[in-house]
């Protein structure tokens, strides 16, 4: 319940956040629509200033928060159905490049495994700025917003819709292979949950593996491709880091089958070590994030908005999981 005054205050805050972000959006160093957790902030924070020393050297000179650019999205133009309006992307995107189809990996290795799928951000975050801006302990000495809006394409295809589409495809694929799937969210109607809750869901499920799915929003010229965000060791997550890092490499190796290239702007050979993400710092079960592509790059976006790519992304993730457990 919100009264008129709080709504007005929220609007003012949102406008302020958008205005303060304008310079960052034009900066070539500002990127990654990454995880809310991970990344982005609607309040235009400088992520570099918050990077702990434990974070990987890969991020030197870059901000992992591509999601900051999400303020350019108007909620009135957002389509929550990623496949409903494939032709709306007219001027800036070439026709999607055909990606090879990846068969579903119905391997025995996935049977009985508990997998948590964390679709980044949420559709209601835009209308709950005060809620998602509440500060939480992200572990490893880092304080972050509860969640962020995420990024999106310039023509209004939001990251939260993309991440949910891939997450639902992955859910189907894993269930078909006999896995027990726990979804952090199964629709885009709410806000959050906070990054702390996203980690807790995996912990409480005693998951064998958890993955957080994202799309980036980097404005550096020519920046494109996918990268996997893997944890560094912190006080809470030490036991799971080796498995998570191994899975990160397997995921990097498998995801190329989607036709998306390795990132040419963040990480090293598709891997980026992060010590500032609550979803990784607070998880006691193996967890990684993936930035499936750069939604601010026309070539990446043309792929990402297709159902074929989304299925291939899901199947590539499942393949990597099967390889981990196989």
Pull the structure tokens for residue 252.
């990097």
- By C-beta, is 35 or 110 nearer to Zn ion? 35
CB of residue 325 vs Zn ion: minimum separation in angstroms?
A: 26
Site string for Zn ion, 192-231 (x = CB under 5 A): ----------------------x-----------------
Using the rule CB under 5 A, give the single segment among 32-40, 217-225, 273-281, 309-317 that binds Zn ion: 32-40
For 135, the 3-state DSSP assignment is strand
Q: What size, in residues, is the chain? A: 326
Longest dimension (CA), the chain: 56
Residue of 82, 150, 279, 286 interacting with Zn ion (CB under 5 A): 150
Set 159, 169, 291, 299: catalytic member: 291
The closest alpha carbon to 48, from 266, 202, 250, belongs to 266
Q: Is 266 in the site for Zn ion (CB under 5 A)?
A: no
Name every residue whose Cβ is closer than 8 Å to that of residue 302 and which is 6 or more positions away in sequence. Answer: 89, 93, 94, 95, 96, 97
Site for Zn ion in 95-124 (CB under 5 A): 120
CB of residue 307 vs Zn ion: minimum separation in angstroms?
A: 20
161 CB burial (10 A radius; 0-12, 13-18, 19+): buried
Q: In the annotation, is 291 catalytic?
A: yes
CB of residue 180 vs Zn ion: minimum separation in angstroms?
A: 25
Q: Count Cα atoms within 13 angstroms, Cβ side, for 293.
A: 26
What stretch of H or E contains 59?
none
Residue of 14, 24, 25, 34 interacting with Zn ion (CB under 5 A): 34
The residues assigned a catalytic role are 291
* Binding-site ranges for Zn ion (CB under 5 A): 33-35, 67, 120, 150, 214
């Amino acid at each position: 319940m919100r009264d008129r005054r709080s709504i007005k205050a929220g609007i003012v805050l949102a406008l302020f956040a958008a205005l303060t972000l304008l310079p960052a959006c034009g900066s070539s160093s500002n990127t990654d629509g990454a995880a809310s957790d991970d990344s982005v902030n609607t309040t235009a924070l400088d992520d570099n200033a918050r990077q702990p020393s434990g974070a990987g050297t890969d991020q030197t000179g870059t901000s992992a928060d591509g999601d900051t650019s999400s303020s350019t999205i108007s909620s009135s133009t957002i389509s929550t159905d990623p496949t409903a309006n494939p032709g709306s992307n007219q001027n800036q995107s070439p026709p999607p490049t055909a990606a090879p189809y990846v068969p579903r990996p119905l391997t025995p290795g996935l049977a009985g495994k508990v997998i948590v799928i964390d679709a980044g951000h949420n559709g209601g975050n835009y209308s709950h700025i005060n809620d998602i801006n509440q500060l939480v302990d992200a572990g490893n000495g880092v304080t972050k917003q509860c969640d962020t809006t995420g990024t999106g394409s310039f023509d209004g295809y939001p990251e939260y819709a993309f991440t949910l589409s891939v997450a639902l495809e992955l859910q189907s694929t894993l269930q078909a292979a006999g896995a027990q799937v726990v979804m952090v969210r199964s629709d885009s109607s709410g806000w959050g949950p906070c990054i702390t809750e996203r980690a807790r869901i995996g912990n409480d499920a005693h998951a064998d593996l958890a993955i957080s799915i994202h799309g980036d929003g980097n404005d550096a010229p020519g920046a494109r491709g996918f990268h996997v965000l893997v944890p560094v060791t912190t006080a809470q997550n030490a036991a799971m880091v080796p498995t998570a890092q191994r899975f990160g490499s397997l995921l990097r190796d498998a995801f190329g089958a989607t036709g998306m290239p390795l990132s040419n702007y963040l990480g090293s050979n598709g891997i980026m070590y992060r010590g500032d993400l609550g979803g990784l710092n607070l998880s006691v079960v193996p967890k990684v994030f993936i930035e499936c592509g750069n939604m601010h790059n026309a070539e990446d976006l043309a792929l990402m908005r297709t159902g074929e790519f989304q299925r291939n992304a899901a199947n590539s993730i499942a393949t990597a999981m099967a390889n981990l457990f196989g």
